[in-house]
Amino acid sequence: MLRSVFDVSAMSDSIIEKAFQDSRALLRQRNQDHVFRWWDELTTSKKRHLLDDIRSIPWGIIDPLLASPQSLQADDPISNELSPPRVHPHNPTPDLADLYAEAVETGRRMISEGKVAAFTVAGGQGTRLGFEGPKGTVPVTPVKMKTLFQLFAEMIHTVRERYEVGIAWYIMTSPATHERTMSFLQEHEFFGLPTDDVVVFPQQMLPLFDSDGYILMKSKHRLWLGPDGHGGSLKALAHSGALADLSARAVKVISYFQIDNPMVKPFDPLFIGLHATTHSEMSTKVATKTHDKERVGNVCVQGGSTVVIEYSQPHFLQDYAHQRNPDGSRRFDAGNLAIHLLDVSFLDRILAQRFELPYHRARKKVKWINEKGVECEPVEENAYKYETFVFDALPLAQNPLVLEVDRMEEFSPVKNASGADSVDTSIADQVHRAARWLEAAGVEVPRASNGAPEVTLEIAPSLALDASDLLAHIERLPKLQRGDKIYLD
């Protein structure tokens, strides 16, 4: 396992004093030495932590972002005309039938040869869910209440056994979640996966700033630091040594997905095969949007390149979101699901070129310590956060492929404590999917007048990764009665 953690306890008093003098001079040049306002009242341990936060700041990134007041404003308007992308449909049209059949076989072969690895971006906390701890430790399944980490581990374990191949799982944490993630995985013995095949590493953190460009203080001895976005995963792969590890294992394709989607299919033979047979360097899954302003990225073509435009982009909302085709359908209807395939050779190439993904500015509402040392609760967004997005690598890729999927089969994220995209809605979607799979295998599922299943169902990955897998277990499938709560494994 690859790890990267600062050892603040190794700093002696003399080193602390020297580091303080150097850091104060560095920050004074940038008009940021307010972070030392309470230095004289800090304990030695707290001084170490403050210096460690300062030492982690990548000024080569931060300085250009703060070079002018404009860098703290909203993103620039869309500069070039947008058009819809070419989308491969979920179900092939007759002219694509042969391609899809070939792709499935190619995908299966690549998995069986160990050429595909899983990569989970898992730096977030469960705070928005009302949960204390890394988001990957949130229970999310209908019957067994398995955590996200357990669910994904079981998917990977099933693929390993089915294809009789070793498969590596890369997990990117953040410094805020790294130790707790490691402890959780170790406590559960990596859910049966070989420890050498689970590679865990943290991403980079960047300071949060107020509207005047000053670093916000989380406490008297800690800066407000936030993850540099899921786009930081690409550099983190390289800096942690994970990219070299991928090459040493002869992995060709990385299956990228975010921690909050329990219905993801990390090893989809069709997706992997289409990616390979079309010679795509980076591919993405999309689903039709539920409404014009759904809070998902919009996959588009701009200046001949495949791009993702954020749902919050004012220009997109005003000029494109409501456009219709002649038949009345939504013109821009490819909603990004944050499920990608990336060639290892693609990452090697762009990282060798020292590429920089664009930084996006987001507003956040955070408690902070004011100049009097008092913690303040803001009434509105008070912090600027800089982050990169992994989908901004799409324009750099050759032959990017876009595949449409059925969102009810593959996408039900856990983002909020209640309402849309919550644990409750995701569990309901998982039950609906399990019911559809069982019905496809010939099992009668009790349903209410509105069509909702009147049973609680959970299908273990070890039994089925998709509906077709249940056909091999028809004789084991139970008869269902209203009110049943059943776990199938």
Distance CA 283, CA 398 (A): 10
Mean pLDDT of 285-295: 95
Mean pLDDT of 83-91: 96
> Which structure tokens are listed for 242?
């994970």
Mean pLDDT of 408-419: 94
Closest CA to 86 of 405, 275, 334: 334
Look over the chain and give the mean of its residue pLDDT values, rounded to a whole number. 93
Q: What is the pTM of this model?
A: 0.92
Q: What is the pLDDT of residues 320-343, one digit of tens each?
A: 999 999 999 999 999 999 999 999
Residue type, 173: T
Closest CA to 60 of 106, 104, 26, 16: 26
Cβ atoms 236, 202 nearer than 8 A: yes
pLDDT for the residue numbered 5: 40
pLDDT bucket at 122, cuts 50 / 70 / 90: very high
Q: What is the pLDDT of residues 439-486, one digit of tens each?
A: 999 999 999 999 999 999 999 999 999 999 999 999 999 999 999 999
pLDDT bucket at 167, cuts 50 / 70 / 90: very high
Distance CA 27, CA 124 (A): 29
For the chain, the structural domain boundaries read 8-55, 85-294+324-416, 422-489
Bridge partners (DSSP) of residue 173 are: 202
pLDDT for the residue numbered 6: 42
> Any idea which of 5-9, 26-30, 288-292 has the lowest mean pLDDT?
5-9
Q: Please give the angle made by the CA atoms of 225, 228 and 230, to the nearest 5 degrees.
A: 140
Distance CA 408, CA 157 (A): 24
pLDDT bucket at 11, cuts 50 / 70 / 90: low
Q: What is the pLDDT of residues 34-81, one digit of tens each?
A: 999 999 999 999 999 999 999 999 999 999 888 864 544 445 556 679
pLDDT for the residue numbered 77: 57
Rounded to the nearest angstrom, the gap between the alpha carbon of residue 178 and the centroid of all alpha carbons in its chain is: 15
Cβ atoms 56, 6 nearer than 8 A: yes
pLDDT for the residue numbered 314: 87
Helix (H, G, I), strand (E, B), or coil: what is residue 31? coil
Cβ atoms 341, 282 nearer than 8 A: yes
Cβ atoms 285, 256 nearer than 8 A: no
pLDDT for the residue numbered 468: 95
Q: What is the pLDDT of residues 209-218, one digit of tens each?
A: 998 999 999 9
Cβ atoms 248, 168 nearer than 8 A: no
pLDDT for the residue numbered 448: 96
pLDDT for the residue numbered 250: 97
pLDDT for the residue numbered 14: 83
Cβ atoms 315, 298 nearer than 8 A: no
| Domain boundaries 85-294+324-416, CATH class | alpha beta
pLDDT for the residue numbered 7: 46
pLDDT for the residue numbered 66: 85
Which alpha helices (DSSP H) does 338-422 contain, by range?
344-352, 407-410
pLDDT for the residue numbered 315: 87
Enumerate helices (H) and strands (E) in the chain, giving the number of each. 13, 20
pLDDT bucket at 355, cuts 50 / 70 / 90: confident
Residue 300 has pLDDT above 60, yes or no: yes
Distance CA 307, CA 286 (A): 13
> Which structure tokens are listed for 329?
């359908």
pLDDT bucket at 374, cuts 50 / 70 / 90: very high
